[in-house]
């Protein structure tokens, strides 16, 4: 780990999806960034196809390799429809992403973000879900929240160069208010009539 890497504790976070990744490759990917804590943001933290990525198994092999493991239900994906006016996140056409975008407006989500940010003060943290591609996972919306609040976010995909994330690089166009809250209103459409 370089001095520059040490200095990023508290201002940088990584994301990763496990999918079918072999444990040694997964660990190597984390080790390359000196990750010492993995936050599991899966709604259903198990895997029939890859039982080594079930919570009980990860609680064993991650600490054995110097990486703390924590399940984070407040950040889990696959959220139901929230009681949010539909226009606030109308930029999302995919219902799953829209539901999660609506969930990011809740107190529970904000508590989860605050807890996550606190952990980054002492650890080099990666958040993990099952989907390897970050643009197809709710990690994308978590990344937008963190980027809007000044964090550097890097997406890790086993066998590939880390991808530095920029706010809004994938998905619906984010709008960030003065408090750092991200929403996704529909893109303005051009009217055939001139505005009065």
Mean of all residue pLDDT scores within the chain: 87
pTM (2 d.p.): 0.87
- Eight-state DSSP code of residue 171: S
The CATH T-level fold of domain 3-183 is 3.90.190
Domain boundaries, the chain: 3-183
Give how far Cα 134 sits from Cα of 17, 106, 127, 169, Å. 7, 22, 11, 11
Residue 78 has what pLDDT? 77
* Degrees to nearest 5, angle at CA 151 with 146 and 154: 90
Q: How far apart are CA 137 and CA 187, in angstroms?
A: 22
Residue 17 has what pLDDT? 92
Residue 159 has what pLDDT? 80
Q: What is the mean pLDDT of residues 180-195?
A: 70
The per-residue pLDDT for range 91-115, each reduced to its tens digit, is 999 889 999 999 999 999 999 999 9
Q: How far apart are CA 30 and CA 24, in angstroms?
A: 10
């Amino acid at each position: 780990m370089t001095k520059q890497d040490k200095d990023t504790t508290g201002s940088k976070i990584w994301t990763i999806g496990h999918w079918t990744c072999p444990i040694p490759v997964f660990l190597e990917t984390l080790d390359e960034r000196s990750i010492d804590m993995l936050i599991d943001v899966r709604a259903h933290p198990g895997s029939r196809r890859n039982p080594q990525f079930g919570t009980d198994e990860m609680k064993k092999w991650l600490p054995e390799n110097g990486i703390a493991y924590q399940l984070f239900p407040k950040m889990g994906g696959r959220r139901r429809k929230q009681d949010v006016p539909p226009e606030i996140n109308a930029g999302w056409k995919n219902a799953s992403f829209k539901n999660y975008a609506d969930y990011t407006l809740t107190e529970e989500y904000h508590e989860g973000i605050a807890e996550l940010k606190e952990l980054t003060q002492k650890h080099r943290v990666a958040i993990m879900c099952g989907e390897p591609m970050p643009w197809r996972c709710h990690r994308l919306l978590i990344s937008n929240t963190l980027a809007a609040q000044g964090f550097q976010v890097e997406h890790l995909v086993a066998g590939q160069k880390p991808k530095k994330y920029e706010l809004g690089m994938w998905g619906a166009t984010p709008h960030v208010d003065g408090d750092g809250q991200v929403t996704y209103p529909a893109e303005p459409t051009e009217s055939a009539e001139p505005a009065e």
